[in-house]
Amino acid sequence: MPQSPPSPHPSRSSSRAEGAAGLARELAPRGAFPAGRGGSLSSRIVAEIRDALFDKRLAPGDFLGTESDLATRFEVSRIVARDALRTLQALGIAEIRMGKGGGARVARGNTALFAEALAVQLELTGVSAEEIVDAQRAVECLAAELAAERATAAERARLTELLAVAERRIGDRAAYTRACRDFHIGIAESSHNRVLVVQLVSLQHVPWPKENRTLTPKVARHIHEVHRQLLALIEQRDSGGARRLMDEHVRMIRARRSAERDSKRSAGRDGRESADRDDRQRGTSDPRTPIEACC
């Protein structure tokens, strides 16, 4: 049944032909699992491809083959290859396209996907809002410190722009919260450390976007002032000062959140303002107050 998998079009789509040709020797099942050491067939394919990635025999953008290709290459059925691709896709390793010229390719880094993975894990672990905000403090303090040391002129200009955008949003709670979050992420990006960016985005992804009730215009103006000072410290390359101010800033956010949570709890069920559509049967002592994206 296998209908000539190799060498479809030697001339056109060079990247694809080249990638597929390379894979034929790079990705072939090495050692030919004799008495199958591990679990399922699909998990072996996943392990094989992941190892190839870590060994740099695969790089983002490389063509992995179609379902049929992989099935032929690993001598399994198409469903097994499909299972493996589903897993690789969920892990963010593979991107799959339908239709002619489609197939699986090694994905580029996908921050959003990873952020969701972290969110899931934190949810499953059942962490509290305080734990998340504290971790945010860890990440953002260092981000501010490094941004002060390393931000380029272009990045400083961008932060200035983000700050100006946020100022215009004061008054609109949702919009200001978003602008505020973008400013914080901009600082993380200016740190030239992508790990910090990923961690920060993840943590801000955990709490679903919600209304921020204590974010009055007065509070927003105070936050804006702090952000202005923060940017000034970064422009002065005062890494210690930026770090301290950010520390204080996030501590304040934490305190406001805790207060908000407590007031909500004590206020009880007076006005049915919570847009939660169903009262959770499980939630007697919900440890997880929904918190907002940034400020």
Percent of residues in the chain assigned helix, strand, coil, to nearest 5: 60, 5, 35
Q: Which does 154 bind (CB under 5 to 8 A by kind): DNA, a second copy, none?
A: none
Shortest CB 283 distance to a second copy, Å = 6
Shortest CB 27 distance to DNA, Å = 15
Interface with a second copy includes 135 (CB under 8 A)? Answer: yes
Interface with DNA includes 100 (CB under 7 A)? Answer: yes
How many Cα atoms sit within 13 Å of 226 on the Cβ side? 22
Residue number with CB closer to a second copy (138 or 165): 138
Q: Are 61 and 108 in contact (CB under 8 A)?
A: yes
| Among residues 121, 152, 236, 274, the one that binds a second copy under rule CB under 8 A | 121
Q: Which does 59 bind (CB under 5 to 8 A by kind): a second copy, DNA, none?
A: a second copy
| Among residues 124, 153, 218, 266, the one that binds a second copy under rule CB under 8 A | 124
| Among residues 23, 122, 187, 231, the one that binds a second copy under rule CB under 8 A | 122
Shortest CB 225 distance to a second copy, Å = 25
Q: Which does 27 bind (CB under 5 to 8 A by kind): DNA, a second copy, none?
A: none
Q: For residue 266, give every residue at least 6 positions away whose Cβ sits within 8 Å of its Cβ, in sequence order, or none.
A: none
Long-range contacts: 7-15, Cβ < 8 Å, 24+?
13/101, 15/61, 15/63
Task: Enumerate helices (H) and strands (E) in the chain, giving the number of each.
Answer: 11, 3
Interface with a second copy includes 142 (CB under 8 A)? Answer: yes
For CA atoms 72, 76, 77, 78, the dihedral sign is negative
Q: Which of 72, 66, 130, 55 is nearest to 101 (CA)?
A: 66
Judged by CB under 8 A, the stretch of 48-56, 156-164, 209-217, 231-239 that binds a second copy is 48-56
> Residues, the chain, total?
295
Binding mask 75-94 for DNA (x = CB under 7 A): -xxxxx-xx-x---------
Distance CA 51, CA 45 (A): 10
Q: Which of residues 198-227 bind a second copy (CB under 8 A)?
A: 198-199, 203, 208
3-state secondary structure of 155: helix
Long-range contacts: 148-153, Cβ < 8 Å, 24+?
148/233, 148/234, 148/236, 148/237, 148/238, 148/239, 148/241, 148/242, 148/243, 149/237, 149/239, 150/190, 150/191, 150/192, 151/190, 151/191, 151/234, 152/190
Interface with a second copy includes 154 (CB under 8 A)? Answer: no
Interface with DNA includes 2 (CB under 7 A)? Answer: no
Q: Which does 96 bind (CB under 5 to 8 A by kind): DNA, a second copy, none?
A: DNA
Interface with a second copy includes 107 (CB under 8 A)? Answer: yes
| Among residues 28, 90, 255, 259, the one that binds a second copy under rule CB under 8 A | 90
Binding mask 11-50 for DNA (x = CB under 7 A): -x---------------------------xxx--------
